[in-house]
């Protein structure tokens, strides 16, 4: 064998090795293409699921915040109503205590009012029972 033939043979081996490598790469890429597409889709779906989970968490947090805010407003309204009611109860108690403490004055005032009312109605009744007199009879004192 001459040198040239061995060199030619080496080149042929190299070319055939390159072709085999190229075929292997193509076969590998064809075999892994569906898997990489599936992996890409799975990654997309995982990203979508994560995004949906974040949105759900945000909605839940907002709803919880709204509930807490509403509850705080109602508690404040209840507190104000309680303060107003206790103020009214205190005013009523004070008025009642004043009436009890001054019951003698109150009874005397009611008695005086009833006395005045009775005297007024008696006087009005006496006046209504009198006979009316004309001007001449009044001047003469009822003699004519």
Q: Are 133 and 142 in contact (CB under 8 A)?
A: yes
In the predicted model, what is the mean pLDDT of the chain? 77
pLDDT digits (tens, 9 = 90+) for 23-48: 777 776 666 656 556 555 666 677 77
Per-residue pLDDT for 102 more than 60?
yes
Reported pTM: 0.34
Per-residue pLDDT for 106 more than 60?
yes
Sign of CA dihedral 110, 111, 114, 116: negative
Token pair, residue 88, equals: 């009214």
User: What's the CA gap between 28 and 34, in Å, rounded?
Assistant: 11
């Amino acid at each position: 064998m001459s040198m040239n033939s061995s060199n030619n043979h080496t080149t042929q081996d190299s070319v055939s090795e390159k072709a085999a490598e190229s075929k292997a790469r193509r076969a590998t890429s064809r075999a892994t293409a569906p898997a990489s597409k599936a992996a890409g889709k799975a990654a997309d779906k995982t990203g979508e699921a994560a995004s949906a989970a974040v949105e759900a968490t945000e909605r839940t947090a907002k709803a919880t915040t709204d509930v807490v805010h509403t509850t705080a407003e109602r508690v404040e309204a209840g507190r104000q109503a309680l303060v107003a009611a206790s103020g009214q109860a205190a005013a009523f108690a004070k008025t009642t205590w004043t009436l009890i403490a001054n019951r003698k004055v109150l009874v005397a005032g009611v008695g005086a009012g009833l006395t005045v009312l009775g005297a007024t109605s008696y006087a009005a009744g006496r006046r209504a029972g009198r006979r009316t007199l004309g001007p001449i009879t009044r001047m003469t004192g009822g003699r004519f």
